[in-house]
Structure 1
Amino acid sequence: MDPFQHMNDWKNNLDHFFGGNFWDDFEHMIKPPIPAINMYELDSELIIYVNLPGIKDRKQVNVFVDHNVLELKGSLFPVEQSGKLIKQEIMQGDFSRQIDLPFAVREDRVTAHLKQGLMTIHLYRLVNDRKKKRVIDIEEFED
Structure 2
Amino acid sequence: MDPFKNWQEWHKNIDTFLGDGFLSSFESILQYNHFPLVNVCKTENEILVIANIPGLNDINNVDVYIDYQSLELKGDINLRYKGYNLVQDELFNGHFERSIELPYPVKDDRIDATYQNGLLIIHLHRLIPDDMRRQKISIKKIEE
TM-score w.r.t. structure 2 length? 0.63
CA RMSD after TM alignment: 2.4
Contact 1:55/1:76 (8 A) holds in 2: yes
State the distance in 1 between where 2:70 and 2:31 align. 21
Give the letter aligned to residue 65 of structure 1: I
Deviations 1:40-99 (Å, cap 9, x if unpaired)?
A: 0112110011111111322111000000110001001133384463x4220100001111
Give the letter aligned to residue 62 of structure 2: V
Contact 1:55/1:116 (8 A) holds in 2: no
Structure with a larger share of its residues in helix: 2
Deviations 1:109-138 (Å, cap 9, x if unpaired)?
A: 11101112211100111101679xxxxxxx
SS in 2 for 1:59: helix
**Match of 1:57?**
58
Contact 1:56/1:116 (8 A) holds in 2: no
Structure 2 unpaired stretches of 5+: 1-26, 133-144
* 1:15-30 matched pairs, under 5 angstroms: 30=30
Structure 1 unpaired stretches of 5+: 1-26, 132-143
**Match of 1:126?**
127
Report % sequence identity: 34
50-59 or 63-72, larger mean C-alpha shift: 50-59
State the distance in 2 between where 1:129 and 1:71 align. 26
Contact 1:56/1:117 (8 A) holds in 2: no
| Count of aligned positions | 103
SS in 2 for 1:106: strand
**Match of 2:31?**
31
